[in-house]
Amino acid sequence: MHKILLLIRRSLKKSFDNIRNERLKNNLLQAIPFWIGSVITGFFAVFYAKVFAWGEMLLELILHWHAWMIFIVAPIGFVLSWWLVKSFAPNAKGSGIPQVMAAVELANPKEHDKIKSLLSIKILIIKIISSVVLVIGGGAVGREGPTIQIAGSIFRTVNNHLPDWWPKISKKNMIMTGAAAGLAAAFNTPLGGIVFAVEELSKTHINYFKTALFTAVIIAGLTAQTLAGSYLYLAYPKTMDVSLMVMFPIILVAGICGILASQLSVIMLKITAWKKKALKTDLSHIIFLVISALIIASIAYFISKEILGSGKELMERVLFSDNKQEAWYIPFLRMLGPALSFTSGGAGGIFAPALSAGASIGAVVSGAIQLTSNETNVVILCGMVAFLTGITRAPFTSAIIVLEMTDRHSLIFHLMLAGMISSIISILVSRHSLYDALKVNFLEEAR
């Protein structure tokens, strides 16, 4: 009897070991594509950031050489950026986040073959080239949203090239994880990437892909840091010794940002809808683009160059220099620039321009009520969260991104308050976010 029990025990142990080994092997094989996609995403995020920065520097050099050159480079940049997208990858236009949201929705057995039109290597290449051309032409766009579509394209391509014998991986989880890794690498904000995936993209319980999500964000972020160094997007603004009375200007700025950001979204959607109906020929598109470019060029030449580019220089100036004052009209310029650039049909994101618009509103309000330097920094950071929330309707993502890019953990409640107020106000102005409305358009085109 003892020998029989021993034999049964050995047999069961061997069976359990085989099951355990098979499960470990399966888990490892499922993890490898996420790791590969994350490393590639980190490389592309750093490469794209450097090329985009060179584009902004080139524009600065051109304007320093002869300021009137903006009237030449702006129309060329706008038209060339649009033509590249139209000719080679129509779904590379704009931010890229609505395309990823649409791809997530299409990631089902019946429609997954339609994702190729939204996420591909061709879109990745055109996305980079078109957005850099647009920023050289003075377009007020950012690279962060495009990095999310780039990362989604990378993860989808990796998934598609797996051999038939490889354990099956959910296309939806792969795309969402890629998007999170892209945002983490673009801003160096790993928590922001995770929260973005959960708040904006995920309709699946996070338990199903949490391990892949966490590891992908970590690997993409570490790869980017290895290549670009450990950095903060906006360093360490001074925010010490701020009283609770600063909550009142924060509430004021958050409300203003919520209203203006929602109105900006409505305006951009109306321009997009009008273009679809009115501009039926390439010539009419080109005329519209030239007019838009000349409006931006005229403002940059005669009023202020702060209408140009992503707005990162504006954020750095108001946060880290003694010159924290902004003219009352700068926030409107930081809205007009993205409105004309984002609807041009070229590639380019709205994340950084939204942050800079919020920063300018915070600076204007702080100057009007004469806050101290540190209080002004707090209000500016809250303005950034509030305006980004008004565009994305993702208050937690916006607060975590600004928190991580500045390393101001003591302001978490201030930032979340600004995001919450802006979210409530913006919903009262316009129920649907910019991304949700644009996602519907991409879904209709893909189907």
Distances (CA, A) of 108 to 112, 115, 173: 5, 10, 11
Q: Which of 390, 364, 389 is nearest to 376 (CA)?
A: 364
**What CA–CA distance (Å, rounded) separates 421 from 433?**
15
- CB under 8 Å to 315, separation ≥6 — which residues? 234, 355, 356, 359, 380, 384
Q: Which alpha helices (H) appear in 66-170, and where do they start and end?
A: 70-88, 97-106, 121-136, 144-160
**What CA–CA distance (Å, rounded) separates 379 from 251?**
9
**What CA–CA distance (Å, rounded) separates 380 from 374?**
10
User: Rounded to the nearest 5°, which phi and psi values hold at 439?
Assistant: -60, -40
CB atoms within 10 A of CB 192: 25
**What CA–CA distance (Å, rounded) separates 97 from 85?**
16
pLDDT attached to residue 7: 55
As a three-state string, the secondary structure of 331-371 is HHHHHHHHHHHHCCCCECECHHHHHHHHHHHHHHHHHHCCC
Distances (CA, A) of 175 to 152, 169, 404, 414: 5, 11, 23, 32
Q: Give this prediction's pTM.
A: 0.90
CA 138 to chain centre: 19
Tokens linked to 147: 């990095």
Digit-coded pLDDT (tens) for 197-255 = 877 776 555 555 667 777 888 888 888 878 877 667 777 888 787 888 889 999 999 99
Domains by residue range for the chain, with CATH: 35-228 (1.10.3080.10), 244-446 (1.10.3080.10)
CA 329 to chain centre: 26
**What CA–CA distance (Å, rounded) separates 93 from 348?**
7
Tokens linked to 331: 């926030």
**What CA–CA distance (Å, rounded) separates 167 from 337?**
47
**What CA–CA distance (Å, rounded) separates 310 from 334?**
9
**What CA–CA distance (Å, rounded) separates 100 from 442?**
10
Q: Which alpha helices (H) appear in 197-245, and where do they start and end?
A: 210-228
Residue 273: its H or E element:
helix 247-278
Tokens linked to 310: 């992503």
- Please count the CA atoms within 13 angstroms of the CA of 88 that sit on its side-chain side: 19
- One pLDDT digit (tens) per residue for the chain, 447 residues: 455 545 555 654 554 455 456 666 677 778 888 888 999 999 999 999 999 999 999 999 999 999 999 999 999 999 999 999 999 999 999 888 999 999 988 887 777 778 888 999 999 999 999 999 999 999 999 998 899 999 999 999 998 888 888 888 888 888 988 999 998 888 888 888 888 887 777 655 555 566 777 788 888 888 887 887 766 777 788 878 788 888 999 999 999 999 999 999 999 999 999 998 988 899 999 999 999 999 999 999 999 999 998 888 999 999 988 888 889 999 999 999 999 999 999 999 898 999 999 999 999 999 999 888 989 999 999 999 999 999 998 899 999 999 888 888 888 899 999 999 999 999 988 877 888 888 888 887 776
